[in-house]
Structures are given as structure tokens and as C-alpha cells.
Structure 1
């Protein structure tokens, strides 16, 4: 068996308030739910972006918890890539520059396709790339 798609992806942040402002106001994602001090969940296309306070998610669930999600978390800068067409990448660049978000890197891949990289407030590497960089 092989999974058919990625349903959710997670990033870990140090400041949930800054992450909420960044992912809603700059990136334009819709907030689905949040638990103060623990997490933010955003709709992204047909999937979900999970943004966690890593320290809060390292705590095991209580024995009587309704949702027994195992502890998890990461330390350091993660990475997430949003799919975008070449025209959308150009529009993202203008949008981000207008909002004073530094473009960390922008280039054409040898196999074709562009990528644009920025950082979120917690230092996670956020990329916008054409799906053709993966042959899609």
C-alpha cells in the first residue's frame, strides 16, 4: 500500500501569536481552530497546516483524555513548501516585499521550476515553488 496524499503537515514555533498573524495576514490562510498556548490549525487547499508550540505538544495526554494524540515536537527550524505557478511566485514576491518580508532566496532549479524562500517569525523556512520541481 502507498498513501495517496499528505493530509496535514506540521511546523513548530516559539510564538503562536506571531505565527497566527503571519499565516493569516501575510500568507492568507484561514484559521480553522486554535488552543491558546498549544496550537493553530489552518486550511491550506485540501490539506491542513498544523502549527504547534513544541513545548506544549511534548506533554503526554492525560489518561482520561478524549483525544489521545501521542507527544511530539521538534526543535529548530523546519521547512514547508507551498505549491505555486510561476505567475503566482512573481505575485508572492511582490506581496511579500510590500509587507517587508525578506526574500531569503529565489532561483530556478536545474530540472526546471522556480522557488522563492522566506522565513516565518520562528525561523522556519517557507518556500513557494512550482510543482514541476518534483515532476508534478
Structure 2
């Protein structure tokens, strides 16, 4: 039962990251007009670094695809973890309205990483 729940959460998390990465490439979700000024300034600063958003988009798409399959889920979680830290920090400091979803995704990634801890521990040996 626990594996089925983790599979469902992993696929949902993967779909959210795939959507976020594809949106960074194709810009199909309109940007809300009521964003906090600090968030707009942060996004403008991120856009100043020309290679940053394409790199994040590729990482989100690749990580999302890897999260879907059980064999590659541990690698997908490792790829998405630094991006998830940034998402949580942005929502904790600038846009707290998205913090519950960010924390939920963070917990799902943490659960995936906890379930695959043996794969990560072998990297440290």
C-alpha cells in the first residue's frame, strides 16, 4: 500500500515539475498580474543570467521524467532537490501564498529520497 501511495505522489510531483519545465521553454501559462513586487524583481534578476532558466527547465523536465519510473526515481529526486530548495526559499521569503504546495512537494521528494537512501549511501562508500 505504501508503495502505491508513493508511486501516485511521485507521478503527481513529476507532472508538476514537467509542467514547470515545459512552461519555462514554451511560456504557455500566462504570468499573473498581481505578483508581489519583490517576486517580480527576483524573476527579473534570474532572467539577467541568460543560461539559468534554460538550465532549470532542462533539470525540471529531466528530473520529472526520471521521477515517473521507479528505477530512475532516486536520480530524478537528486536532480530536482536543489531546485526544490530554491522553490521553498522563494515561497518562504517572497511569495508565502505558494508555500503549502512547495512544502508538500518538498516532503514528497524527501519521502522519495528516504525510500532510496541505500542507493545514495552507496555513493558515499
Could you tell me the TM-score, scaled by structure 2's length? 0.30
Q: Which has the higher contact order (CA 8 A, sep 6+)?
A: 2
State which structure, 1 or 2, has the greater radius of gyration over its C-alpha atoms.
1
Higher strand proportion: 1
Higher helix proportion: 2
Could you tell me the TM-score, scaled by structure 1's length? 0.28
